[in-house]
Amino acid sequence: MAARKTGLGRGLEALLPTGDGDEGFALLPIDAISTNPQQPRSRFDDEALESLAASIREVGVLQPIVVRQTAEDEYQLVAGERRWRAAEKVGLGVIPAIIRDGDDVSGLTEALIENLQREDLTPLEEAAAYRQLMEDFGLTHEDVALRVGKSRSAVSNTLRLLNLPAVIQGLLEAGELSAGHARALLAVDDVRYAEHLARRAAEEGWPVRRVEEAVRARTEPAQPRAARQAPTARPAEILELEERLTDRLGSTVRIDYGAKGGKVVIRFGSLDDLERVYRALLG
């Protein structure tokens, strides 16, 4: 069966370089693709895979895998095994793929970056493209930011959207919520409540500020009326350090500091995300 050329939506199609002959974009049958025996990563966290599978059920495969053809109607993974496994878990029959000659994907990296810079993508499509550059081609937040002409914090904040529950990702991808709504909801640890707020915001047309207020009401415990007082201004150096750590780690960082010391709280969305934070700390 020959690979079928198709359009999968404005954003995904925009990211895909096209080529002549067997090199380019195609929808390939899941069972026509085999793993690469030389893939150094042999273990995939079940919880992280389930999270990715839930996202795929809701918004589809936003990032194409990369394969090379090994025989007629047979392909081997070059990059994107996590997406392939998650798509298989969902029960998809086909998956978007870029077919390359051999294992050289350096040209693909540059093509993805070039299209990222000029196309009007949805926030999730942009986030998915950043993650593809990082996971498949070993780029850091700093590398991606430099190549697409954005700040590292802008790239990191966009990537954080991929930590949202699948339901909220679906509302964001459908245009019923903005990236501002979605970023506000990242602060809610209770997934069901976050989804509840997202649905109300979408159905009732809440502005971002109202979502932020609802999130604060949930995450900041109310004080007795008599005990309420103007909040103490936090030291500027603590706020700056929070911002720098958030930028460096790509995850929200909160520093609670007092006369007897304090603590640093780092948010993460999955075990894979925690591993990414760990590596960023080591680096």
- Which residues, at least 6 apart from 122, have a Cβ–Cβ distance to it below 8 Å? 11, 172, 173, 175
R_g over Cα of the chain:
21
The CA angle 103-105-111, to the nearest 5 degrees, is 155
Q: Which pair of tokens denotes residue 20?
A: 């002549």
Give 38: exposed, middle or buried? Use CB within 10 Å, 0-12, 13-18, 19+: exposed
CA separation for the pair 135, 52 (Å, rounded): 14
For 173, the 3-state DSSP assignment is helix
Catalytic residues: 81
- Which residues, at least 6 apart from 98, have a Cβ–Cβ distance to it below 8 Å? 16, 17, 24, 25, 64, 65, 66, 67, 108
CA separation for the pair 48, 53 (Å, rounded): 9
Closest CA to 268 of 279, 282, 257: 279
CA separation for the pair 93, 106 (Å, rounded): 28
